[in-house]
Amino acid sequence: MSAAKPTHDVIAGAPAEAAQSKRGRLIRQEDEIFERIQQAILDHRLPPGTKLKEVPLAELFGVTRGLLRKVLTRLAHARLVEQRPNRGAMVASPSVSESRDLFAARRAIEGAIVGILGTRINATQIKGLRRMIEREQNAYAKGEMRAGLKLSIDFHRVLAQMAGNSVLSGFLEELLTRTPLVILAYRDTRATTTRCDCNDHGAIIDALETGDAEEAARIMQEHLEALEGQLNLREDGSTTDLAAVFGS
């Protein structure tokens, strides 16, 4: 069974609670399923291309097919899932150009976020961010990759929230969730790890502390370029040269 239905094992965690009141809690249930699938993607547990069948997933979460269907539609709108008519939903597989665009968009948005923060961040916030980086480094040092990854993403997310622009942080939230799909699809097989450089995070805070927003934005953009550089985004799948793949 474990081998036959891998998707079931992958999207693990506590079972979705049955609705208590007859209505009203149900939208929370919908949100919970959405977030659990989203979290599975963030945790690199759901690779691109994974088929998401309605009946098995609905049974797994203990909801009707109609509700699950709604969740899939929402995930599709967030571009975490691709829905093709009559052929169901699968975890999105970003193309090379999409992936490049995604990183360029992150540079633009996170650059702006850091620029905003340069003028409004306070000592308490800086202290909190430093604590986060410390925990992140500890996690990686202890080999707890999943925890480190989560903290690393949280660093970017918290920066956005501190900037106080709900529109930009909403956009970034989407991009942060899509990033793992890009990494899984295009990670360089030779590289041991594909993740944020903690030192960059520290350097960004250093720049923010001195009030140098320009410098902080510059480091953030270089930081994202470094992450993108760890990937193999050279050629698109559609243009793969089969002759080259099989020698001669």
Partner DNA sequence: GCAAAAAATATTGTCAACAATTTTATCCAG
Partner DNA sequence: CTGGATAAAATTGTTGACAATATTTTTTGC
Where does this chain bind DNA (CB under 7 A)? 21-24, 26-27, 51-55, 63-67, 69, 83, 85-89
Sequential DSSP letters for 114-164: HHHHHHH--HHHHHHHHHHHHHHHHHHHTT-HHHHHHHHHHHHHHHHHHHT
Closer residue to a copy of itself, CB minimum distance, 14 or 167: 167
Among a copy of itself, DNA, none, residue 97 binds (CB under 5-8 Å by kind): a copy of itself
Distance CA(217)–CA(158), nearest Å, equals 16
Map residue 196 onto helix, strand or coil.
coil
Distance CA(33)–CA(15), nearest Å, equals 10
Among DNA, a copy of itself, none, residue 53 binds (CB under 5-8 Å by kind): DNA
Closer residue to a copy of itself, CB minimum distance, 12 or 26: 26
What is the number of helices (H) and of strands (E) in the chain?
Answer: 11, 3
Distance CA(100)–CA(106), nearest Å, equals 10
Among a copy of itself, DNA, none, residue 232 binds (CB under 5-8 Å by kind): none
When asked if residue 105 is in the footprint of a copy of itself (CB under 8 A), the reply is yes
Residue 116 tokens read as: 């905003």
Task: Give the nearest distance from C-beta 123 to DNA in angstroms.
Answer: 44
When asked if residue 35 is in the footprint of a copy of itself (CB under 8 A), the reply is no
Site string for a copy of itself, 174-193 (x = CB under 8 A): -x------------------
Map residue 75 onto helix, strand or coil.
helix
Distance CA(62)–CA(18), nearest Å, equals 8
Task: Give the nearest distance from C-beta 97 to a copy of itself in angstroms.
Answer: 7
Closer residue to DNA, CB minimum distance, 54 or 98: 54
Binding residues (CB under 8 A) for a copy of itself: these are: 23-24, 27, 70, 73-74, 77-78, 85-86, 97-98, 101-102, 104-105, 107-109, 111-112, 116, 165-168, 171, 175
